[in-house]
Structure 1
Amino acid sequence: MLHVRLITPSDRTDEVVQLIENTVGTTHLAVLSGAARNPRGDVVLCDVAREAGDELLGGLRELGIDESGSIAVENIDLSLSKRADKAEREAPGEGSDAVLWEHLAEATHEESTLSVTYLAFITLATMIAACGVVLDNAILIVGAMAVGPEFGPLAGFCTALVQKAPKLALRSLIALIAGFAFAMVVTFGFSLFMNAVDLFSVEQLDAKRPNTNFIYAPDWFSFIVAVLAGAAGTLSLTSAKSGALVGVAISVTTVPAAANAAVAFSFTEYGQAWASTEQLLLNLLGIIVAGTLTLLAQKYFWARHRTRTPLKDSAA
């Protein structure tokens, strides 16, 4: 269940209440007349089943409540109420399958912003991966994959394509390209420093490296795994199962490929650097294709759910 807290202008409260009452899957409606001070108006509270949340939020935005008042949504961890149980039964589909597009857009907006923290994470992840490829240490590679934050802008770009939001698409693309470019440049310098102090060597890079040579050997399996990981990552975001993102992060070789390219370039091993760059681009393409198709499929199926759902009054 979701808890919705609204501040509405007094002259729009009746419309908001009617919308809530007519939306299948809502309950625990309360109206506090004149309780809001900034902005002035009424406070309207209700609970809504997650699978009906997108429909309600869309209706509230059509009424302009996000501009004239306020819309706040919180997850309810525990709700002991027969009315809440009834609302969830009446709502279409399953809560775990529901997509809250407003929440997804907000989450990906934050994750796809080129910030100092984002640059720090992707740079540190790439430097860790650089140590992993030179030492042929799979544990370091997995650790770097888990630290890398690149799925945020990838998910933001997919969401922007589906929602036709050019500003979010541009922001995500800038974060993705600038983030990897910055991380690779810093890792290039890091590799030169490590070579100067005799901790990295070209012999280590050119060795067989059975644990990490897949990073610079792109093939169809690289693309297939990226597609599967992109679909899984998108589902984990839309279903609020964020724990699955860790598995997604360590399934694709974006950060390790960027690290291997930077290290190889610092040793003028241009063939290996280009092969690693191909691996990076192949993984990014697979995730974007899969993420976009997954969101399109979810949007289509939930649109069908909404057309089949009767109003609460007629359902009663």
Structure 2
Amino acid sequence: MRYLEITVPEGRRRAVLDILEAEGVDYVVSDETSGRGYTAVVRFPLPTRAVEPILDRLRQAGVSDDASVVVIDAETVISEEFSTLREQYGHGGPSGTRTSRQVLRTKARELTPPFSIYAVMLLISAVVATAGLLADSPAVVIGAMVIAPLLGPALAANVGIVTGDDRLKWKGFAYQFVGVALVVVASIGLAVLARLAGLEPAGVDVVVATELEERVSPNLFSLAVALGAGIAGILSLTRGFSEAIVGVMIAAALIPPSAAVGITAAWGMYGAAVGAGALVVVNVLSINLAALATLWIAGYRPQGLFEVSSTRRPTYTYAAIFGIGLLVLAAPLAGVTLLDFQTTELESAAEDEAETVLAEPEYEGLEADDVTVELDGNYPIQSVDRVVVTVANDEPGPEPGLADRLHEEISAHGDESLVVEVEYVVSERRGGENDGQLSRTPQTADTSDSLPSIVPAGTASS
């Protein structure tokens, strides 16, 4: 329930009261004597669902930007007229579940903090997220998401679009752009300091070491997080769910990828930085598209004939921009997704072939310890570099001909240039209390007497 207080401009008193009486609203009116161009102050309770349509009718009657409208929450209203009004506007669903457009704008503004606070909080979030990624600490990264104030700008931009509030719209977009830029710049600075200080060893693939791979080589599933965040953000704003929790979801889609851009750029891994940057752009577009579509479908737009036509074109224009941008970026994401599927299928097929080959009598005593598919590390769109089969053997040294045999079987599931590499480990049984327990240690054979312990099939001969 809501309680409204409206200052009525001169010459509009009778029109306002006629509308309230026609709607069956129980109101109280008092004269306004300040001499500021108002003739009366009207106060009345309304069901939440009734706020938007009645304010729209009052606006048509001349109560527009010249008037002062205050909407506050009401705990209890005891009135027979109010009960009738609540039943009228509660038809078709539970009453009081939909926030009015007017309140929606106010909430969107309140969720967007002053720029100085916004910038400081994002800088802190960027530092924490970068430190968490470099330290490979999910808990620290989650902490960075919690303090990032990204919910308000994402919602404000789209609320401004569908309600025709240009000031709110541009403020939301400016905050989003500047916020992402701040995180990227701050993460570059911290990552450079970490590299110079030797906090990450030189020569180490920082992407693998810090588990950044999912952010520098994103796939189509990355869209799900951002789309869900945009929808949930609008629902939290309009249906009263916890904005704090949804804010963390939006931050999860933006803060870690933005920090990943800075880290990979500081390490000179520009391909990986491009991949992380693409993920940031995809997530920004997805959040805004989902929020815009949810608002429009839910009916959060001016309801007057002329107002609808004035906001319809901007809404469709921005939706088209967001949608086309996503389609363009979906192509490389689809390539990464396809590679993920191919890698999984190749690894499964290689495991089956390795087990089948080693089950043959001539390879008795050998068993497949591990089968992995390694990528070439050319981010953001990688390709299969080699298949590594680790074989456990009771005796030191490689098994002659096994590498070529595995290559012959496994390469049938890939292209002709596929490299199959066989690594050997020695398995030995120890006596004593650990009798019967199998332990494995890497074994490098003397190349003067036998094959190397690592044999890339199809690329080397013996």
Alignment-mate amino acid for residue 183 of structure 2: A
Q: 1:301 to 1:133 in 2, by over 3 A?
A: same
In structure 1, runs of 5+ residues without a counterpart are 304-316
- The TM-score with structure 1 as length reference comes to 0.83
Tell me by how many angstroms 1:208 deviates.
Answer: 4.0
Partner of 2:136: 136
Correspondence 1:45 to 2:10: no
Partner of 2:20: 20
Partner of 1:11: 11
CA distance in 1, matches of 2:161, 2:67: 29
CA deviation vs aligned residue, 1:173-193 (integer Å, no higher than 9, x gap): 222112211232123223223
Tell me by how many angstroms 1:225 deviates.
Answer: 2.1
**Is this contact kept in 2: 1:51–1:94, CA < 8 A?**
no
CA distance in 1, matches of 2:99, 2:174: 26
CA distance in 2, matches of 1:68, 1:135: 56
Partner of 2:76: 79
After superposition, where does 1:129-278 map in structure 2 within 5 Å?
Answer: 129-199=129-199, 203=204, 205-210=206-211, 213-241=213-241, 243-247=242-246, 249-250=248-249, 252-278=252-278
Alignment-mate amino acid for residue 161 of structure 1: I
SS state at 2:221 partner: helix
Partner of 1:63: 61
Tell me by how many angstroms 1:156 deviates.
Answer: 1.9
CA distance in 1, matches of 2:129, 2:219: 20
CA distance in 1, matches of 2:126, 2:223: 21
CA distance in 2, matches of 1:244, 1:69: 30
SS state at 2:76 partner: coil
Tell me by how many angstroms 1:294 deviates.
Answer: 0.7
**Is this contact kept in 2: 1:7–1:71, CA < 8 A?**
yes
Tell me by how many angstroms 1:73 deviates.
Answer: 0.8
Q: 1:245 to 1:20 in 2, by over 3 A?
A: farther
Q: 1:16 to 1:39 in 2, by over 3 A?
A: same
Q: 1:290 to 1:206 in 2, by over 3 A?
A: closer
Correspondence 1:32 to 2:39: no
Larger Rg: 2
Q: Among the aligned pairs, what percent are the same residue?
A: 20
Larger deviation: 132-141 or 155-164? 155-164
- Please tell me the root mean square deviation across aligned C-alpha atoms, in Å: 2.8
In structure 2, runs of 5+ residues without a counterpart are 304-462
Partner of 2:123: 123
**Is this contact kept in 2: 1:19–1:59, CA < 8 A?**
yes
Correspondence 1:290 to 2:290: yes
Q: 1:11 to 1:271 in 2, by over 3 A?
A: same
CA distance in 2, matches of 1:172, 1:145: 19
SS state at 1:261 partner: helix
**Is this contact kept in 1: 2:216–2:260, CA < 8 A?**
yes
**Is this contact kept in 1: 2:5–2:42, CA < 8 A?**
yes
CA distance in 1, matches of 2:111, 2:165: 15
**Is this contact kept in 2: 1:119–1:182, CA < 8 A?**
yes
Give the helix-richer structure, 1 or 2: 1
